[in-house]
Amino acid sequence: MSPNRRQFLKSSAASLALAAASGGALAKPDKAQPHVVVVGAGWGGATCAKYLRLWDPDIRVTLIEPNPHFTSCPMSNWVVGGFQSFDYLVKSYDNLPKYGIKMVKDLVTGVDGEKQVVHTKAGKKIHYDRLVLAPGMEFMTETVAGYDEGAKAQKVMHAFKAGPETLLLRKQLEAMPDGGVFVIASPPPPGRCVSGPYERACAAAHYFKQHKPRSKIIMLDGHIDVVSKGPMFKAAWKEFYPGMIEHRPNNLAVGFDHKTMTVTTEFEDVKGDVVNIIPLQRAPKLCKDAGVRNDALDRWCNIDYVTYESTSVPKVHVIGDPVMSNMPKSAHVSNNQAKICAAAIIELLHGRQPVPAPVIGSTSYSVTSDHTSGSIAVVMRYDPAKKVYQRQPEGGANTKHSELDFAYGLAWHENMWADTLG
């Protein structure tokens, strides 16, 4: 590395933060460059790979992702409501190789933790010194009887992973007759973006108000109340969509009959013209096969919250949705976890101790119409004694939506994309 390059890194904000956290400047690398493999190029994986290279260019980083483009789940409800085109959610990975990241377009099929090797669908065997798993999560469709059959018939979908289902749900709403019923069934936490279903109800209601004013939305909520931004969402429903959104709490969907378009809950049967069931979620099969999906319910990954290293498989780190914690499963948290994990890996590779009490910030915006949003912002600091992230004073959710929050939300998305991919 050139002296100018090293001086630039030392003077950058990121490098100063890392040096301060570690108690000094970065140590010179060994002759053999350590190799970190990152699986999954979403909000967590892409961010982690980028910051590993930014903070220590002497680490080799391989990022494995089967998809040719990044597709954003945040803002996908904008597409459902007709506020934005789907193309706006699709971003390029072209900038990541500029940081010296080796991109591999492939699907990881297995991890050999003992030999420290990743296996891919194309038959590659990639050795790692440290491995970061950021594969998102999977849906437990088996917990809703008839869901898989209904999905094959394209009569039900979760559309909670941005992609073809996002567009299909939008088309179904467009085809629904005026006076029809849109049923949204959401699970209790933990799960991805717990405010997402309520935002989806707002987006759909805004569309109905303009084009199908006699239509109705029934929300079957597996939780006892609105999980996130409750007062704000309820105020928006009352102000913008009176009588259009019916929220039925403590009503978990357990079955679906695609022939009659009927959702069965623990208490009632509900018919809809368009049905959107979001099942319970868990860390994906890759995590289970790798031995890191290790909680008592076989759903999530227990980790060391300082390093994000698995508690069951050494040198394998897990970030994002699969993590078992009291942190939200959101884009911003995944992005923050990625940076903490990257900094910790650098420290470990250089034989030093990572920062013992990392801090995570979480901000998210939820649209309530095509020009208003509400937000929530919290800060959580890890308590080494209690081994848990503790929410810090101040922060919280807005009780009212606003046009200013809508503008802030748009800027937040743009900045998040730039930080992760730019």
- 378 located within any domain: no
241 with 202, same domain: the answer is yes
Overall number of domains in the chain:
2
- 385 located within any domain: no
CA-CA-CA-CA torsion sign (71, 124, 32, 340)? positive
pLDDT greater than 80 at residue 8: no
- As a whole number, the mean pLDDT across the chain is 92
With contact defined as beta carbons under 8 Å apart, do 57 and 14 qualify? no
- 7 located within any domain: no
Model pLDDT, residue 236? 97
245 with 322, same domain: the answer is no
Between β-strands 373-383 and 216-221, what pairing exists: parallel, antiparallel or unpaired? unpaired
Cα–Cα distance measured from residue 277 to residue 253, given in angstroms and rounded to the nearest whole number: 8
Model pLDDT, residue 17? 39
Cα–Cα distance measured from residue 27 to residue 417, given in angstroms and rounded to the nearest whole number: 31
- 264 located within any domain: yes
51 with 87, same domain: the answer is yes
115 with 165, same domain: the answer is no
270 with 148, same domain: the answer is yes
Range with lowest mean pLDDT among 6-10, 51-55, 157-161, 276-280: 6-10
CATH number (domain holding residue 325): 3.50.50.60
Share of the chain above pLDDT 90, in %: 92
- 408 located within any domain: no
Terminal-to-terminal C-alpha distance of the chain: 22
Domain boundary among 250, 279, 308: 279
316 with 337, same domain: the answer is yes
- 188 located within any domain: yes
- 392 located within any domain: no
151 with 224, same domain: the answer is yes
172 with 269, same domain: the answer is yes
pLDDT in tens, 71-121: 999 999 999 999 999 999 999 999 999 999 999 999 999 999 999 999 999
Question: Which residues constitute the domain of residue 238?
Answer: 141-279
243 with 333, same domain: the answer is no
Nearest to 395 by CA among 411, 412, 376, 381: 376
For residue 317, the SS3 value is strand
132 with 163, same domain: the answer is no
Model pLDDT, residue 227? 92
Domain boundary among 245, 279, 313: 279
pLDDT in tens, 15-56: 333 433 333 333 343 458 999 999 999 999 999 999 999 999
Average pLDDT over residues 375-379: 95
Nearest to 388 by CA among 306, 294, 296, 317: 306
265 with 292, same domain: the answer is no
pLDDT in tens, 339-361: 999 999 999 999 999 999 999 99
pLDDT band (50, 70, 90) for residue 5: very low
305 with 216, same domain: the answer is no
Domain boundary among 232, 249, 279: 279
Model pLDDT, residue 235? 96
With contact defined as beta carbons under 8 Å apart, do 327 and 189 qualify? no
- 148 located within any domain: yes
Average pLDDT over residues 209-231: 97
pLDDT in tens, 224-267: 999 999 999 999 999 999 999 999 999 999 999 999 999 999 99
